[in-house]
Structure 1
Amino acid sequence: MQAHALLHLLQLASPSLPVGAYSYSQGLEAAIEQGHVTNAAQAKDWIAAYALEVVAPFEAALTWRLLQAFACADAEAVSSWNTLFIAARDTAEFRAETIQMGYSLARLLLDLQVVDVDAARILQSLSEIPFPTAYACAAISLQVPPAQALLGSLYAWAENQVLVCVKSVPLGQVAGQRLLLALGPVLEQAAQLAQQLDDASLSNWAPGLSLLSMQHEVQYSRLYRS
């Protein structure tokens, strides 16, 4: 991996990327509120299961396909996977989260003028841009290899989940870093799974998570928007 590509990947995966990821917990706050996650061991189990059973077989798998589509400047494939991902957001909060983050990243890319003409045309042809689409466009435009880009997206997701646990369980900073280290093999496994699945095997079936997300919409006290 070239040094410039690594630096670009670090920028894309950074929590300082101004897309608002820090304001979302993706259902984790509701799980903490209801007592499903109360310590570091439960936090690890929750994030690992989420990564392998929900993120890898759908969001990560679609991100992988979007990376390939942008690499080939295949507007039809981008539009198809983009539409599928939006349609699969089964709660108002999950849908609002990905559209807001995708819009923010797409605007950032255009403002920074790092997107080539073909990629910019594809982005601008989409009526709504979820985060995986904008991320895939960013990674390919910045010449980050797809496999590393996928792993970077998984790490950024996991880091945000860990930060939610550090703030809300709460866990200490050392416990949070220990948790990130322990999740390394899980993220590698999730990346491999996302690349190996065929189209017919894609699934984000997680009714318990969907219920938590809907319950979070009416939760009395909330730090996060999802």
Structure 2
Amino acid sequence: MSPHSLLQLMWLASPALPVGGFSYSEGLEAAIEAGRVGDEQSAGLWLADQLHLSQSRGDMAALAQAIPAWRAGDLQRAEALNEWVIVTRESSELRLQSEQMGQSLAAWLRNQHAHCAGCMALVEALAAFSGRTPTYTVAFALAAAFTQAPTRECALAYAFGWAENMVQAAIKATPLGQSAGQRILARLSQEIPHAVEHALALPDDARTVFSPMLAILSSRHESQYSRIFRS
């Protein structure tokens, strides 16, 4: 992988990317309210389970399939994956997150690739998916496709970006310090390669985001009295 590709992936995985990921906890705040997460150990277990049961089997698998679709110019395939991501959001907040971050990333891509006609054609195709809003997963896949990095490395960057954002959410919402957060992130970093390999191996009919407790807690969060995150 070239230095340019590596730097582009680091940029995409950075929490400084202006897509608004810092404002979402993906149900973690509701898990804290329900007493399921409250310290370093329980937060680490929750996020590791979410990585393997939800991210790896669902969004990361869709991402791994969307990257080669974008590179091949297979817009029908990319659109079908975008549709799958939308219809598998199990609460209004999870759908809001996916669509808002997808729109923000599409806007960022327009700014980054304004002088590349071929790139802009793909970005505009993303924004025009049968009237559907682009999802973050499929928009990230397009951004990753532009880096020319291997799909595995793209998925690793996506997973680490997710993990770093979720650890920051845990630090803000529970009595955890930065050191505890770094220990949780270190654990997730050890789990990510296995999660990525699993995602890369999944065919279409094996993708799933079926996580009943996460869906229930996410739905409860919609009417949670006190909260600091949008999901």
AA aligned to 2:6 is L
* CA–CA separation in structure 2 for the residues paired with 1:63 and 1:55: 10
Shift of 1:143: 2.2
* CA–CA separation in structure 2 for the residues paired with 1:199 and 1:9: 25
* CA–CA separation in structure 1 for the residues paired with 2:127 and 2:48: 35
> What secondary structure is seen at the aligned counterpart in 2 of 1:67?
helix
AA aligned to 2:37 is V
Which residue does 1:217 correspond to in 2? 222
Please give the residue correspondences for 1:192-211 in structure 2 after superposition, counting only pairs within 5 Å: 192-211=197-216
- Select which of 158, 162, 167 maps to 1:157: 162
After TM superposition, where is structure 1 displaced by more than 2 Å over at least 4 residues in a row? 142-145
Matched-pair contact (CA < 8 Å) for 1:66–1:133 = yes
Matched-pair contact (CA < 8 Å) for 2:103–2:134 = yes
Shift of 1:167: 1.2
Which residue does 1:176 correspond to in 2? 181
* CA–CA separation in structure 2 for the residues paired with 1:223 and 1:117: 36
* CA–CA separation in structure 2 for the residues paired with 1:141 and 1:122: 15
Which residue does 2:102 correspond to in 1? 102
| 1:13 maps to 2:16 | no
Q: Kindly provide the CA deviation profile for residues 36-64 of structure 1, in whole angstroms up to 9, marking residues without a partner as x.
A: 11111111110111111111011110011
Which residue does 2:32 correspond to in 1? 32
Matched-pair contact (CA < 8 Å) for 2:127–2:134 = no
* CA–CA separation in structure 1 for the residues paired with 2:73 and 2:82: 14
Matched-pair contact (CA < 8 Å) for 2:9–2:157 = yes
Q: Which runs of 5+ in 1 are unaligned?
A: none
Which residue does 2:2 correspond to in 1? 2
Which residue does 2:77 correspond to in 1? 77
RMSD of aligned residue pairs (Cα, Å): 1.2
- Between stretches 130-139 and 180-189, larger displacement belongs to 180-189
Matched-pair contact (CA < 8 Å) for 2:106–2:123 = no
Shift of 1:149: 0.8
Instruction: Number of aligned residue pairs: give it.
Output: 226
Please give the residue correspondences for 1:48-197 in structure 2 after superposition, counting only pairs within 5 Å: 48-113=48-113, 116-126=119-129, 127=131, 128-197=133-202
State the TM-score, normalized to the length of structure 2: 0.94
Shift of 1:117: 4.4
* CA–CA separation in structure 2 for the residues paired with 1:219 and 1:125: 34
* CA–CA separation in structure 2 for the residues paired with 1:6 and 1:62: 22
* CA–CA separation in structure 2 for the residues paired with 1:191 and 1:146: 10
AA aligned to 2:149 is V
AA aligned to 1:4 is H
* CA–CA separation in structure 2 for the residues paired with 1:79 and 1:182: 34
AA aligned to 2:31 is A
Percent of aligned pairs with the same amino acid = 37
State the TM-score, normalized to the length of structure 1: 0.96
> What secondary structure is seen at the aligned counterpart in 2 of 1:59?
helix
* CA–CA separation in structure 2 for the residues paired with 1:170 and 1:216: 20
